[in-house]
Structure 1
Amino acid sequence: MNTDKIRQEIRGLSDGKLFFNNAGSSLMPNIVVDSMIDYLRQEEQLGGYEVANRNAELLDNCYAETARLINCKPSNIAFMTSATEAFAKALSSIIFEEGDTIITTVDDYISNQITFISLQKRLNINLLRIKKLENNELDLEELENLIKEHHPKLVAVTHIPTNSGLIQDIEAVGKICRQYDVLYLADCCQSVGQMVVDVDKIGCDFLTATGRKFMRGPRGSGFLYVSDRVLEQDYAPILLDMRGAHWSEYDNYELFKTAKRFEHWEVSYAAVLGMMEAVKYANTIGLNTIENYNRKLAETLRTNLKNSSFKVLDIGKNLSSIVTFCGPDNDLENIQKVLRENNVFFSVSYKNSALIDFTDKKVDGAVRLSPHYFNTLEEVEKVSEVLRNSLL
């Protein structure tokens, strides 16, 4: 991997910033931005329909490139405006009834938790959360017992929680779900783009991802993976349009065969094209290469923070490129001030975004640094020094 070349292909780095907010919204490669601008200029001159027709083959290739990213078929991919939309579309295809059970984790993403609670309030479903072991890993034995006792309609797990560096064992969860024939939804919005994600190994029925984070695509882009078995059982979002079905009779329709049934007719093809270029960029480098490099960056940063007496909040056997921490006295304000003064881009997660996790950790929030493959070890050392000096 040629990091120097990669950095030269990011106009956003030209002002010397230290960019460590890839878990929020990353910096796009030039090719992503240029492809979107070119497409919009075509729409300016020819109108959206004509441009879509002229670029039909290119746009169709978006499905193949994304399928390659997660090891599936193009027919399993649907493009979305965000991971949240993908998550909602997947949930809306499942007919929940009063008394049904959803099993999730204490570390699931805030929007997912709120969605589950909304279903609980509206439909009186049961919401259960898998406990964690002392080492912060999922209690898989408890998951199996909960499945046998409650026969859930769905198991949903966030691969990498936004509030910590934990990588949850979604492959082990998938094996249990397949054993008991339970629908399984994996939220991979923080893992797709920063590490290898293989739906065949995960064994999920749905997988959701966004473009703007580690994938380095534009905001307003994302995708949904839908398994063959779900498609064959005619799962579809509750509110379909002509993208999802053929109007066959006055009062009936026939679902289209692919995951495109989860899409809507109206979409920003410029965003889809930008997303494809981001996916292609990552595929060309190789997700295994990206994952190994990111692990080295994150491990170095965590070690430096611990050696400087910061409270690193990431706990688990397998940690990601999201590094969360606070000051020795749980301070956040001084850290933020120092980082901003030194042109470091970061984010902060507060307690209301990770209510269970941060309550257990006895903190009100965490500063989040999320290095990615265009960052360098020199940048990691520089931001570590900035933070170390903030304690003097």
Structure 2
Amino acid sequence: MNIEQLRADTPAVAQLIHFNNAGAALMPAPVIETMTRHIQLEASLGGYEAAGQCAAELENVYGAIGRLINAQPDEIAVIENATRAWDMAFYSLPLQPGDVVLTSSTEYAGNYIPYLQMQQQRGIKVRVIANDEHGQVSLPALKTLLEEERVALISLPVIATNGGPVQPIEQIGALARAAGVLFLLDACQAVGQMPIDVHKIGCHMLAATSRKYLRGPRGMGFLYVERSLCQNLEPVFLDLHAASLQTSNTYMIRADARRFENWECNVAAKLGLGCAVEYALAQGIEPMWLRIQHLAGYLRQCLADLAGVTLRDTGSLTSGIVTFTHQRNSATQIQQWLAAQDKRINVTTSTFRSTLLDMQHRGLREVSRASLHAYNTETEIDTMIAALDGLPSV
């Protein structure tokens, strides 16, 4: 990869070290320019007129996302964030009393809460798949649950927000397909970081965000729904974009995945998402994934040599999200120490509130999270390690 060009396209790396890519990565210059140009166009022409002038470019966003995950443009909905995209898929499912939803211990709290709501409202059952010895979903345990329970849905994140394993999603998908069970993936930390092919995975639905490893703007995400499933799912709410009024008594829901969208959207952000996808594809997802894994491995090695530091990542396959705890200092203190003006190193704190099941299981309340991208460097990692080595005792 051309690391120098990646960094040249990322102006902020001259002023700071950004290891919070699992929160919001630094946008590359082409994305910033695309969004700025459209905002200026809106200012000079008007919002509707500017969108009309960019109609072809907006349409291309669907094709770009399709190429990114090996889907068709009509299987893609562009939605204001990944949470709402996931919600639109999940709440459209015709779950019945007694239906079982299977998830992982690494599930995000924002997804687990809807499971509990449907448990209260519709009488579904929520089951957490046991982990194997590596801390990822146990495939034998999953197979047993599929044989013994009335499973309607498997739903889990590819990579947890607090680190942990890259789940064996292709094997999970194969088991789901064989059992005739729907498979919904939260790919927020995966899309843009690692290759994602919905056909190889076998998932029926997938939600992802713009702002993390794709390096797009905040407030934008997308949803994939397999074509053969899409027309069997009715969104929980509709508008004149998702459906059309036929008579005073009838309406028709559109046939493609855009039935999950709504009329109003941030056009500049949508164009920014499309540009971010094109930028990622031009760099190559596979080379970026290899570099991210290399950098994360180097960071883990360096952290393992630091006194008082305990690595907290699990899984036989790990990602660019590196988590650790410190014997003397809290994750919040580490975050503040690294962010100080003379250091300007961005990491974050991941707490039990976002991944309650996993953190409780491991006896953790918080971890420090450093998430690396391809534009980061070994020198930046060395700088962070030196800063951690100088942590004051508290």
TM-score, scaled relative to structure 2: 0.95
What is the rounded CA distance, in whole Å, between the counterparts of 2:119 and 2:192 in structure 1? 32
Partner of 1:271: 269
Question: 2:161 aligned with 1:159, yes or no?
Answer: no
Partner of 1:222: 221
Partner of 2:125: 126
How far does residue 391 in structure 1 lie from its aligned partner after superposition?
7.0
Partner of 1:103: 102
Partner of 1:116: 115
**Matching of residues 265-344 of structure 1 within 5 Å:** 265-309=263-307, 310-328=309-327, 331-341=330-340, 342-344=343-345
Note the alpha carbon deviations across 1:35-79, whole angstroms, 9 max, x for none: 111111111222222122211111111111111111111111110
Partner of 2:29: 30
Q: Report the 3-state secondary structure (helix = DSSP H, G, I; strand = E; otherwise coil) of the residue aligned with 1:165.
A: strand
Note the alpha carbon deviations across 1:199-220, whole angstroms, 9 max, x for none: 1111111100000111100011
What is the rounded CA distance, in whole Å, between the counterparts of 2:262 and 2:202 in structure 1? 26
One-letter identity of the residue aligned with 2:285:
L
Partner of 1:148: 147
Question: 2:376 aligned with 1:390, yes or no?
Answer: no
How far does residue 389 in structure 1 lie from its aligned partner after superposition?
2.8
Note the alpha carbon deviations across 1:116-141, whole angstroms, 9 max, x for none: 11222222211111010122121111
Q: Is the 8 A contact 2:191 2:208 kept in 1?
A: yes
Q: Report the 3-state secondary structure (helix = DSSP H, G, I; strand = E; otherwise coil) of the residue aligned with 2:159.
A: coil
Q: Report the 3-state secondary structure (helix = DSSP H, G, I; strand = E; otherwise coil) of the residue aligned with 1:324.
A: strand
Partner of 1:243: 241
One-letter identity of the residue aligned with 1:381:
D
Q: Report the 3-state secondary structure (helix = DSSP H, G, I; strand = E; otherwise coil) of the residue aligned with 1:93.
A: coil
Figure out how many residues of one structure are paired with residues of the other and give that number.
390
Q: Is the 8 A contact 2:98 2:150 kept in 1?
A: no
What is the rounded CA distance, in whole Å, between the counterparts of 1:385 and 1:360 in structure 2? 32
What is the rounded CA distance, in whole Å, between the counterparts of 1:338 and 1:34 in structure 2? 33
What is the rounded CA distance, in whole Å, between the counterparts of 2:155 and 2:11 in structure 1? 38
Q: Report the 3-state secondary structure (helix = DSSP H, G, I; strand = E; otherwise coil) of the residue aligned with 2:163.
A: coil
Note the alpha carbon deviations across 1:303-326, whole angstroms, 9 max, x for none: 111111411100110000000101
Q: Is the 8 A contact 1:312 1:325 kept in 2?
A: yes
Partner of 1:196: 195
What is the rounded CA distance, in whole Å, between the counterparts of 1:179 and 1:323 in structure 2? 34
When the two chains are superposed, the root-mean-square deviation of aligned CA atoms in Å is 1.5
Question: 2:359 aligned with 1:358, yes or no?
Answer: yes
Question: 2:365 aligned with 1:378, yes or no?
Answer: no
Q: Is the 8 A contact 2:332 2:349 kept in 1?
A: no
**Matching of residues 181-192 of structure 1 within 5 Å:** 181-192=180-191
One-letter identity of the residue aligned with 2:94:
I
Partner of 1:19: 18
How far does residue 261 in structure 1 lie from its aligned partner after superposition?
1.1
How far does residue 337 in structure 1 lie from its aligned partner after superposition?
3.5
Residues 51 and 356 of structure 1: is their aligned pair in 2 closer, same or farther, counting only changes over 3 Å? same
Q: Is the 8 A contact 1:330 1:363 kept in 2?
A: no
What is the rounded CA distance, in whole Å, between the counterparts of 1:234 and 1:355 in structure 2? 33
What is the rounded CA distance, in whole Å, between the counterparts of 2:244 and 2:264 in structure 1? 16
What is the rounded CA distance, in whole Å, between the counterparts of 2:249 and 2:143 in structure 1? 43
Q: Report the 3-state secondary structure (helix = DSSP H, G, I; strand = E; otherwise coil) of the residue aligned with 1:157.
A: strand
Q: Identify unmatched segments of 5+ residues in structure 2.
A: none
What is the rounded CA distance, in whole Å, between the counterparts of 2:147 and 2:244 in structure 1? 39
Question: 2:52 aligned with 1:53, yes or no?
Answer: yes
How far does residue 86 in structure 1 lie from its aligned partner after superposition?
0.6
Q: Is the 8 A contact 2:335 2:346 kept in 1?
A: no
What is the rounded CA distance, in whole Å, between the counterparts of 2:353 and 2:373 in structure 1? 26
How far does residue 382 in structure 1 lie from its aligned partner after superposition?
1.5
What is the rounded CA distance, in whole Å, between the counterparts of 1:206 and 1:190 in structure 2? 16
Q: Report the 3-state secondary structure (helix = DSSP H, G, I; strand = E; otherwise coil) of the residue aligned with 2:103.
A: strand
One-letter identity of the residue aligned with 1:291:
W
What is the rounded CA distance, in whole Å, between the counterparts of 1:236 and 1:385 in structure 2? 54
Partner of 1:345: 346
How far does residue 247 in structure 1 lie from its aligned partner after superposition?
2.1
- Does 44-53 or 19-28 show the bigger shift? 44-53
Q: Identify unmatched segments of 5+ residues in structure 1.
A: none
How far does residue 225 in structure 1 lie from its aligned partner after superposition?
0.5
How far does residue 333 in structure 1 lie from its aligned partner after superposition?
4.3
What is the rounded CA distance, in whole Å, between the counterparts of 2:17 and 2:313 in structure 1? 22
Question: 2:3 aligned with 1:3, yes or no?
Answer: yes
Q: Report the 3-state secondary structure (helix = DSSP H, G, I; strand = E; otherwise coil) of the residue aligned with 1:209.
A: strand
What is the rounded CA distance, in whole Å, between the counterparts of 2:5 and 2:198 in structure 1? 31
Residues 146 and 276 of structure 1: is their aligned pair in 2 closer, same or farther, counting only changes over 3 Å? same
How far does residue 353 in structure 1 lie from its aligned partner after superposition?
1.9
Q: Is the 8 A contact 2:325 2:331 kept in 1?
A: yes
What is the rounded CA distance, in whole Å, between the counterparts of 2:172 and 2:38 in structure 1? 41
Note the alpha carbon deviations across 1:261-290, whole angstroms, 9 max, x for none: 111011111110000111111000000010
